[in-house]
Amino acid sequence: MEAAAAVSPVRFKSNYAVSRKIEPFYTGGRVQITRDGKFMLCPCGTRLNVIDVETGAQRSLQQDDEEEITSFALSPNDEILVTGSRALLLKQWKWRENECVRTWRAVHMAPVASMAFDSTSTLLATGGCDSTIKIWDMIKQYCTHNLKGSSGVVHLVEFHPDISRLQLFSSSIDYKIRIWDLKSSKCVAALDGHFSAVTSLAFSDGNTLVSSGRDKICMVWDLKTRESKRTIPIYESVEAAILLPEKGDFSQLGVKKQGLHLVTAGSKGVLKVWEVATAACVFTQPMPFESKEEASERSLTQCMFVPARNEIITVSVEHNIVLYDAQTLQLRKQLAGYNDEVLDVKFVGPGDSHIVVATNSPQLKVFELATSHCQILYGHTETILALDVFRKGLMFVSCAKDKSLRVWRMNKDGRVTCVAQGLGHAHGVGAVSCSRLKENFIVTSSQDCTIKIWNIPESLTSKAKAALISSPETLHAKVTERGHNKDINSVAVSPNDKLIASGSQDRLAKLWSCSDCSLLGVFTGHKRGIWCVQFSPVDQVLATSSADGTLKLWGLRDFSCLKTFEGHDASVLKIIFVSRGAQLLSSGSDGLLKLWTIKTNECVKTLDGHEDKIWGLHSNKQDDMVVTASSDSCITLWKDVTEIEEKEAQAKQEEQIMKEQELSNLLHEKRYLKALGLAISLDRPHTVLMVVKAILKETDGRKHLEENIVRLRKDQKEAVLSFLVTWNTNSRNCHEAQAVIETLLKHEAPDELLQYSGIKPAVESLLPYTERHFQRLSRLLQASMFIDFMWQNMRLADAAPQEEVML
């Protein structure tokens, strides 16, 4: 270590900047995708987020009224976006420019629940919670129809794809599908067959309609006779049904014959393909999770076919958006719309290309940072509480409230599988730490106040053998030790794998031997429970953080407190060493991140990036990125910008020196206009004053000054105005200030002067001092007049005796 340190000195960090945020972008409702398949529109409370499907980058359309969006629709030509909010307003957007172009009252008595455009993008139908449907002409901007007769909330509206028919289909709480003739504004038919809410409508040719419902059936309707042709039992509550295109090879989905085929998405959480003619299920997607859990948690809420991407997109109750290959239903990409409270986060993968996130759920999420693709790992049955990663970054461990721990391995293509699980704790497992030198053991601690050491069999660590594992191996605890009298919040393994540290709610940190878990010593000094313990990567030092708002460093030899860092106003939840053990990063329950230099005991920087408790904090192997995760559902990636800022400061300094040199050259050459401009750009009031004085010293100085001031730009004149306010406060410089004021008043119209920024406070400051200067001049004039009078009298008195002599 010392040799390495001698080669390259430690670079102390001074600042981090947010390089990326993974925020909730979808909190429920209908999702829409553009026709080219590049962007996805997702409602998120008061915002509508536009997501780049490839990169996961997001931007928001923010409403002024801060009211929740209840419904929205994007026209088939991708040009017009309309949103409806709880404020009973409809807004039309140029969504690519983030610009709202029109706002009008929805004329509904209650919020708009559903919206749909016709195939020509000229008509918009809005279904309200007030049982009415309104149709709007988007070109001429007026309401063309007000359709009454539905019962309850109109949650589904859809135009017939053949616009020449001028038909609108709707469904409300009475489970009927109403057909409205827009020529007569009347309901011409009500298709009655469903016994629960109708969730989607799909048109095959001009005369066939397929409807899906929560009554676990799909119905095929003949629109000529307006009768039901067939009922397909689906055996699950159906949220969406889409028709597969007749062209295209769907043989891998069990499509063997010509004819209509349906894809259904519903409460079981998997896609199914149905042959309409025989009402037979020809393909069921394999389940990515164990079916022991409640179906409602896995339920799919939406399903769309996107021809431009040749993909089928599903949306789940848990706000996950999944893109499948349309021909095979193989998963291509998954985006997580909402993370809930984030409890822990770690960098994983080769080159720290991914992050693994424990949210307030039994599933782990693994995000690929480059594409935002999210894998969801099933296995735990209750909330995951903590994570840790082995040194190489390919294996990591999770522990949960279900009293278990699980070991996961990432393969070369980034896919993660569970390779082992350990059971044995009597309560939820709240903290975990991996061995540092080799991948050979794990330490866990629990609310049952025990510490357990688990050995990892060699079969898991060697890649060749690990590839052959089909089901997770069962791990058994090698050692169990009752460590504390209260919950153990944190455990850590030393860099040499010989020591274990634990921190507990009982305000104590303890040091244990790794081989037999025997107690080596106790660290006492914190006034409240300890949240985190960490070993220094280079020194024989342990860092602890506590609910008393302090961080402490302890010597491992004598268990004494070496340093205390005070600065947090709330509990310090996590700490990590950075800069090769020379600095500390700490995160608090107030959402603040603090960077400390150990040698000087000072807080170098406080970073505010979260609204709530920061539970997760981890640095990458390169030590130039940090990831934080918080209860506010946000995951923030921070980049070390110390070097960039130092270079910028240096470049600025060099530029300043160059400009100063140039300024002195210009003054020497008497090129006053350029000198004036340069001094203003350097923001140097005194230098500008020197230039003005130099101009006034010249012959015809007043005239030259006038010429130079007039030729300045408006922003430069504004700067000079702010400077001369300061000059005018000093009697030595008031003449120069007054000369410039005179020029400005002479050459600028009053209306133009009023447009100057800061003109009001400038005039308010100039008036009292100018009055004082004039009073001084008046006194001076009076005094000079008196002297003149005295002088005249003295001369007269002298002259009188001389005249007498002459006489």
* Contact between 481 and 517 (Cβ < 8 Å): yes
The reply to whether 701 and 659 lie within a common domain is yes
> Residue 731 falls within a domain, yes or no?
yes
Place of tokens 């960490």: 534
CA angle 17–434–352, rounded 5-degree value: 35
Q: What is the pLDDT of residues 189-211, one digit of tens each?
A: 999 999 999 999 999 887 899 99
Quick check: 506 pLDDT over 50? yes
For the chain, what is the domain count? 2
* Contact between 428 and 382 (Cβ < 8 Å): yes
Q: For residues 133-150, give the mean pLDDT.
A: 92
Return the higher-pLDDT residue of 591 and 744: 591
The reply to whether 730 and 765 lie within a common domain is yes
The reply to whether 623 and 717 lie within a common domain is no
> Residue 453 falls within a domain, yes or no?
yes
* Strands across the sheet containing 271-275: 238-243, 261-266, 271-275, 280-284
pLDDT score at 774: 82
Last residue of one domain, picked from the residues 615, 641, 667: 641
Q: How many CB atoms lie within 10 A of CB 66?
A: 12
pLDDT score at 340: 82
pLDDT score at 798: 62
> Residue 153 falls within a domain, yes or no?
no
Q: Give the three-class secondary structure for 90.
A: strand
The reply to whether 658 and 735 lie within a common domain is yes
Q: Which helix (H) or strand (E) holds 652?
A: helix 642-668
Q: Could you say which DSSP state residue 25 is in?
A: -
Last residue of one domain, picked from the residues 609, 641, 673: 641
Q: Give the three-class secondary structure for 218.
A: strand
Find the domain containing 712 and state its range.
645-784
The reply to whether 637 and 649 lie within a common domain is no
pLDDT score at 510: 95
> Residue 243 falls within a domain, yes or no?
no
The reply to whether 607 and 756 lie within a common domain is no
Q: What is the pLDDT of residues 527-567, one digit of tens each?
A: 999 999 999 999 999 999 999 999 999 999 999 999 999 99
> Residue 750 falls within a domain, yes or no?
yes
Taking alpha carbons only, the member of 695, 703, 698, 701 closest to residue 673 is 695
* Contact between 244 and 226 (Cβ < 8 Å): no
Quick check: 138 pLDDT over 60? yes
Place of tokens 């274990």: 500
Q: For residues 779-801, give the mean pLDDT.
A: 78
> Alpha-carbon distance 381 to 423, whole Å?
13
> Residue 23 falls within a domain, yes or no?
no
> How large is the greatest C-alpha to C-alpha distance in the chain, in angstroms?
151
> Residue 178 falls within a domain, yes or no?
no
> Alpha-carbon distance 59 to 460, whole Å?
42
Quick check: 288 pLDDT over 70? no
> Residue 744 falls within a domain, yes or no?
yes
**Residue 525: band (very low, low, confident or very high) from pLDDT cuts 50, 70, 90:** very high
pLDDT score at 802: 58
Q: What is the pLDDT of residues 417-437, one digit of tens each?
A: 999 999 989 999 999 999 999
* Contact between 776 and 784 (Cβ < 8 Å): no
The reply to whether 612 and 650 lie within a common domain is no
pLDDT score at 537: 93
pLDDT score at 796: 67
**Residue 412: band (very low, low, confident or very high) from pLDDT cuts 50, 70, 90:** confident
> Alpha-carbon distance 535 to 541, whole Å?
6
The reply to whether 635 and 654 lie within a common domain is no
Last residue of one domain, picked from the residues 619, 641, 663: 641
Q: What is the pLDDT of residues 251-282, one digit of tens each?
A: 888 888 888 899 999 998 899 999 999 999 99
Quick check: 292 pLDDT over 50? no
Cite the beta strand spans of 441-571 per DSSP E: 441-446, 450-455, 473-475, 477-482, 488-493, 499-504, 508-513, 519-524, 530-535, 541-546, 550-555, 561-566
Q: For residues 453-457, give the mean pLDDT.
A: 91
Quick check: 521 pLDDT over 90? yes
CA distances from 257 to 220, 249, 447, 637, 692 (A): 18, 11, 59, 51, 91
Quick check: 487 pLDDT over 80? yes
The reply to whether 419 and 566 lie within a common domain is yes
Taking alpha carbons only, the member of 412, 395, 378, 534 closest to residue 475 is 395
The reply to whether 611 and 704 lie within a common domain is no
The reply to whether 529 and 490 lie within a common domain is yes
Would you state the structure tokens that stand for residue 688, as one six-digit string? 């500008």
pLDDT score at 464: 46
pLDDT score at 639: 93
CATH number for the domain harbouring residue 439: 2.130.10.10
The reply to whether 580 and 630 lie within a common domain is yes
Lowest mean pLDDT, pick from 56-60, 116-120, 225-229, 529-533: 56-60
